[in-house]
Structure 1
Protein backbone atom coordinates (compact mmCIF):
# COMPACT_ATOMS: atom_id res chain seq x y z
CA UNK A 1 0.00 0.00 0.00
CA UNK A 2 1.30 3.46 -0.93
CA UNK A 3 1.70 6.03 1.83
CA UNK A 4 -0.91 8.78 1.88
CA UNK A 5 0.37 12.28 1.23
CA UNK A 6 -1.70 15.34 2.18
CA UNK A 7 -2.71 17.83 -0.54
CA UNK A 8 -0.25 20.34 0.93
CA UNK A 9 2.63 18.09 -0.09
CA UNK A 10 4.16 18.37 3.36
CA UNK A 11 5.97 15.25 4.44
CA UNK A 12 7.24 16.53 7.78
CA UNK A 13 5.54 17.82 10.86
CA UNK A 14 3.46 16.49 13.67
CA UNK A 15 1.74 13.19 13.03
CA UNK A 16 -2.03 13.38 13.29
CA UNK A 17 -4.49 10.55 13.44
CA UNK A 18 -8.26 10.72 13.66
CA UNK A 19 -9.47 8.77 16.64
CA UNK A 20 -11.69 5.95 15.42
CA UNK A 21 -13.59 5.90 18.71
CA UNK A 22 -15.14 9.36 18.26
CA UNK A 23 -18.89 9.54 18.47
CA UNK A 24 -20.73 11.07 15.52
CA UNK A 25 -21.27 14.14 17.69
CA UNK A 26 -17.52 14.48 18.31
CA UNK A 27 -16.75 14.05 14.61
CA UNK A 28 -19.35 16.72 13.77
CA UNK A 29 -17.78 19.10 16.32
CA UNK A 30 -14.40 18.67 14.63
CA UNK A 31 -15.94 19.29 11.20
CA UNK A 32 -17.62 22.45 12.49
CA UNK A 33 -14.32 23.63 13.98
CA UNK A 34 -12.56 23.08 10.64
CA UNK A 35 -15.34 24.92 8.78
CA UNK A 36 -15.01 27.87 11.17
CA UNK A 37 -11.24 27.89 10.75
CA UNK A 38 -11.57 27.77 6.94
CA UNK A 39 -14.05 30.68 7.04
CA UNK A 40 -11.75 32.81 9.19
CA UNK A 41 -8.70 32.08 7.02
CA UNK A 42 -10.71 32.83 3.87
CA UNK A 43 -12.04 36.09 5.33
CA UNK A 44 -8.52 37.30 6.05
CA UNK A 45 -6.56 35.79 3.14
CA UNK A 46 -9.21 35.08 0.48
CA UNK A 47 -8.01 37.52 -2.18
CA UNK A 48 -4.37 36.58 -1.66
CA UNK A 49 -5.26 32.89 -1.86
CA UNK A 50 -7.17 33.46 -5.11
CA UNK A 51 -4.18 35.32 -6.57
CA UNK A 52 -1.79 32.57 -5.51
CA UNK A 53 -4.02 29.81 -6.92
CA UNK A 54 -4.32 31.72 -10.18
CA UNK A 55 -0.54 32.08 -10.39
CA UNK A 56 -0.05 28.38 -9.69
CA UNK A 57 -2.60 27.26 -12.28
CA UNK A 58 -1.71 29.53 -15.15
CA UNK A 59 1.10 28.17 -17.27
CA UNK A 60 3.50 30.44 -19.08
CA UNK A 61 2.08 29.28 -22.41
CA UNK A 62 -1.52 30.04 -21.48
CA UNK A 63 -0.57 33.43 -20.05
CA UNK A 64 1.25 34.26 -23.31
CA UNK A 65 -1.96 33.50 -25.21
CA UNK A 66 -4.20 35.44 -22.80
CA UNK A 67 -6.00 38.34 -24.48
CA UNK A 68 -5.89 41.26 -22.03
CA UNK A 69 -8.31 43.24 -24.25
CA UNK A 70 -11.09 40.99 -22.93
CA UNK A 71 -10.66 42.53 -19.48
CA UNK A 72 -11.55 46.06 -20.53
Structure 2
Protein backbone atom coordinates (compact mmCIF):
# COMPACT_ATOMS: atom_id res chain seq x y z
CA UNK A 1 0.00 0.00 0.00
CA UNK A 2 1.37 3.39 -1.02
CA UNK A 3 1.76 5.99 1.78
CA UNK A 4 -0.51 9.03 1.70
CA UNK A 5 0.94 12.19 0.29
CA UNK A 6 -0.72 14.76 2.54
CA UNK A 7 0.50 18.35 3.04
CA UNK A 8 0.68 17.75 6.78
CA UNK A 9 3.06 14.83 6.34
CA UNK A 10 0.79 12.59 8.41
CA UNK A 11 0.75 8.98 7.32
CA UNK A 12 -1.46 7.52 10.04
CA UNK A 13 -5.02 8.10 11.08
CA UNK A 14 -8.44 7.76 9.57
CA UNK A 15 -8.29 7.80 5.78
CA UNK A 16 -10.63 10.13 3.96
CA UNK A 17 -12.72 8.34 1.38
CA UNK A 18 -14.07 10.51 -1.40
CA UNK A 19 -16.55 8.90 -3.70
CA UNK A 20 -15.49 8.89 -7.31
CA UNK A 21 -18.94 9.93 -8.55
CA UNK A 22 -18.93 13.48 -7.17
CA UNK A 23 -19.93 16.14 -9.62
CA UNK A 24 -17.55 19.04 -10.17
CA UNK A 25 -20.09 21.20 -8.33
CA UNK A 26 -19.95 18.92 -5.27
CA UNK A 27 -16.16 18.92 -5.27
CA UNK A 28 -16.11 22.72 -5.56
CA UNK A 29 -18.58 23.05 -2.66
CA UNK A 30 -16.25 21.03 -0.41
CA UNK A 31 -13.21 23.06 -1.47
CA UNK A 32 -15.07 26.31 -0.77
CA UNK A 33 -16.11 24.99 2.66
CA UNK A 34 -12.52 24.12 3.50
CA UNK A 35 -11.28 27.50 2.25
CA UNK A 36 -13.87 29.26 4.45
CA UNK A 37 -12.90 27.13 7.46
CA UNK A 38 -9.22 27.88 6.91
CA UNK A 39 -9.94 31.61 6.64
CA UNK A 40 -11.96 31.67 9.88
CA UNK A 41 -9.29 29.71 11.77
CA UNK A 42 -6.50 31.91 10.37
CA UNK A 43 -8.40 35.06 11.34
CA UNK A 44 -8.76 33.87 14.92
CA UNK A 45 -5.34 32.26 15.47
CA UNK A 46 -3.01 34.05 13.02
CA UNK A 47 -0.36 35.23 15.51
CA UNK A 48 -0.16 31.98 17.54
CA UNK A 49 -0.08 29.97 14.32
CA UNK A 50 2.75 32.07 12.87
CA UNK A 51 4.73 31.67 16.09
CA UNK A 52 4.14 27.92 16.11
CA UNK A 53 5.07 27.49 12.44
CA UNK A 54 8.17 29.66 12.89
CA UNK A 55 9.25 27.56 15.87
CA UNK A 56 8.78 24.36 13.90
CA UNK A 57 10.65 25.53 10.82
CA UNK A 58 13.60 27.39 12.33
CA UNK A 59 16.84 25.89 13.50
CA UNK A 60 17.94 27.26 16.84
CA UNK A 61 21.66 28.07 16.91
CA UNK A 62 23.63 28.51 20.08
CA UNK A 63 24.77 32.14 20.15
CA UNK A 64 28.37 31.23 21.05
CA UNK A 65 28.82 28.55 18.39
CA UNK A 66 27.95 30.89 15.52
CA UNK A 67 30.13 33.78 16.55
CA UNK A 68 32.92 34.98 14.28
CA UNK A 69 36.11 36.46 15.63
CA UNK A 70 37.09 39.81 14.09
CA UNK A 71 40.55 38.43 13.36
CA UNK A 72 39.15 35.54 11.31
CA UNK A 73 39.64 35.74 7.56
CA UNK A 74 36.33 36.02 5.66
CA UNK A 75 37.44 33.28 3.24
Q: TM-score, normalised by structure 2?
A: 0.70
**Residue of structure 1 in register with 2:57 after alignment:** 57
* CA apart distance, 1:56: 0.7
Q: SS of the residue aligned with 1:52?
A: helix
Relative to its length, the structure with more helix (as a share) is 1
**Residue of structure 2 in register with 1:36 after alignment:** 36
* CA apart distance, 1:25: 0.4
* CA apart distance, 1:17: 1.1
* CA apart distance, 1:21: 0.5
Q: TM-score, normalised by structure 1?
A: 0.72
> Does 2:2 correspond to 1:2?
yes
Q: Name the count of aligned residue pairs.
A: 63
Larger gyration radius, structure 1 or structure 2:
2
CA RMSD, Structure 1 to Structure 2 (Å): 2.0
**Residue of structure 2 in register with 1:68 after alignment:** none
Q: SS of the residue aligned with 1:3?
A: coil
Structure 2 gap segments, 5+ residues each? 67-75
Structure 1 gap segments, 5+ residues each? 66-72
Structure 1 stretches of 4+ moved >2 Å: none
